[in-house]
Amino acid sequence: MSAVISSQVVLSRTPEGPLAAYIGSFANALNTLGYAVSSVHRQVRIAACFSRWLGQERVALQSVTADHPVRYLQCRAQHLRSCPGDLAALRHFIDFLRREGVVPAEKIAVQQLTPIDRCAEAYEQYLREARALARATIVNYVPFIRDFLSHRFGDGPVMLSRLCAGDVVRFVQCQAPRLHRRRAKLMTSALRSFLSYARYRGDVAVDLAAAVPIVPNWSMMSIPRAIAPDQVRQLLASIDRRTAIGRRDYAILLLLARLGLRSGEVASLKLDDIDWRVGRLTVCGKSGHRGGLPLPPEVGKAIAAYLQRGRPHSTSRCVFLRAKAPVRGFQGASGVGSIVRHALQRAGVDAPTTGTHQFRHGLATEMLRKGASLGEIGDVLGHRHLQTTKIYTKIDIVALRTLALPWPGGAQ
């Protein structure tokens, strides 16, 4: 006898077993997340078979664990051919049951922390709570400190009071030759931060941060790689705005090119961040700093077109959503970077890079050439220090040529 599970799924028999009562809710959850009808039907069908097997094995509801899907598929493989997505479907089902509070969360065995782990975690907490540093900075700093502690103390106890200047110098001399100049400079910055933290705690009496060797780093030695205005126009013209994905990608590219947003800022943009009445956008930048920017009509129209005729139905407050299930906001900056990379490839644009930062550089370059001050450029790009913006003075080639001295002898 067939059983109607949802408006889109009908099974050949009524679900049985300890999880049968939750099959319909699981189907509705998959529909909400934007899965295709065929995918919903396949996942619901194997979930129902899994529940029936649990009943046959006399597994109680509160006893279901992440191991049971694996055991079920091993048993099922003896008489039926498995499909590649079966295990993933059952894991989706288990995750759904956990979110609903039906199945208890897995108990994760608590691992014994090493002395280095405890010291590194305390430092990480200090950076996050006391210093309020950006997550990216913390992620970059902590591994260097783990390496430093391992280099000095090995598997033994970590006694910061025994650190001396020689320990610091030897570590930098050992590691710096293996690293790119920028990574080596980042390592020394992490060491100075950690040694200042150790002194702040009272574990170190002297200023060991001053003993960290300096990695040569000439200010603004490189030129920002900026995408050219004609390349931006070619890229935008290549987007098919007749499709939902095209309208989304076009709006994202405009935010990058016209406002110079970082990829992470685009990914984290929420519906509440747009004030349509006054035409203003609130952006959450580095270190949680929030700033406002005027919303150009061109950008506002593109976002509105996506919201009205492209954005999937979702409870998410993120402006931009994934096009494929599960439909939700981007997990991070990499999603926006992927959109840019594929758009450049499809358009055949020979851009300086395949990343998103070239749009910030391109915007700053154009503003400088049109007479904008460094302060105005820094305000648009969300720079908190003028020194960060000064690098763009190197790319105003026309202005720099006026400063060049004649070559002796008249040669050009």
Known catalytic residues? 262, 286, 357, 360, 383, 392
Closest by alpha carbon to 132, among 20, 300, 255, 289?
289
Amino acid at 88: A
Three-state SS at 283: strand
Report which residue type is found at 171. F
Residue identified by tokens 């430093």 is 148
SS3 261: coil
d(CA 248, CA 306): 5
Backbone angles phi and psi of 153, in degrees to 5: -110, -15
Q: Running DSSP on this structure, what letter comes out for residue 331?
A: S
Question: What H or E segment, with its residue span, contains residue 2?
Answer: none
Dig out the tokens for 344 from the structure: 């450049």
**Which among 42, 1, 5, 4 is positioned nearest to 22, based on CA atoms?**
5
| Cα gap 67→78, rounded to integer Å | 18
